[in-house]
Amino acid sequence: MRRGGWVAASGAAVAFAGLVWLHMLASPARGDEANEPHYTDTGNLVRPENFHGWIFVGSNLGLGYNTELAANTPRERSRLGEYHNIYLAPEAYAAYAQTRTFPDKTVLVMDVYGARTKEPRGIVDKGSFNGPSFGIEVAVKNKMRPDGKTTDWAYYDFTDRSGNGRFPSNVKAQDDSQCYACHKAHAGVDNVWVQFYPVLRDMKNP
């Protein structure tokens, strides 16, 4: 082939690649390929991955439950001094921004860390920071839950607070009596604690 033919072919290839790239930008990957919940054959939730690239909606330090209001036995999170960093899947965030409701297949991840006040270089004098990872807790809205339960929201615990970092790859949903009833009664919107997540709480009406 003449050299001009290679140049022409290369130019066409570059143009085609550019069109493909623009199409990818205009048509992002479907949520069910990445950010929707995935389950094992027995209905256990598979631990979400790459959620640190999702929408960060808020955090808290040492937040504990009011024992007179919580339906279940509260964990002593305030005593443990945990950091909770909350991430929402982008598709769910976009839908909430438009409708103020969480769509089916919404996934919220609470990334849990132990609070630390000292670090090896000794630069910290006051306050605390995110220390060792304790794993994640996950809330999923799914009206067609594969485990056969009928409640639309389910809650999953992938944490290991022993410090060994032995986080399970999949877990079954917590009993509704442990999480669902309390969230239903006290959450700001649709079982989600938006009152604690400023990115969602302070949104103006669409």
Please tell me the predicted confidence (pLDDT) of residue 79: 52
Answer whether 162's CB lies under 8 Å from 185's CB: no
Q: What percent of the chain has pLDDT over 70?
A: 76
Please tell me the predicted confidence (pLDDT) of residue 78: 46
Please tell me the predicted confidence (pLDDT) of residue 6: 31
Least confident of 16-20, 34-38, 173-177: 16-20
pLDDT of 160 higher than 70 = yes
pLDDT in tens, 124-155: 777 788 889 999 999 999 999 999 999 999 99
pTM higher than 0.95 for the full model? no
Strands (E) located in the chain: 45-46, 55-61, 82-88, 107-116, 129-141, 153-157, 170-171
pLDDT in tens, 45-70: 999 999 999 999 999 987 776 555 55
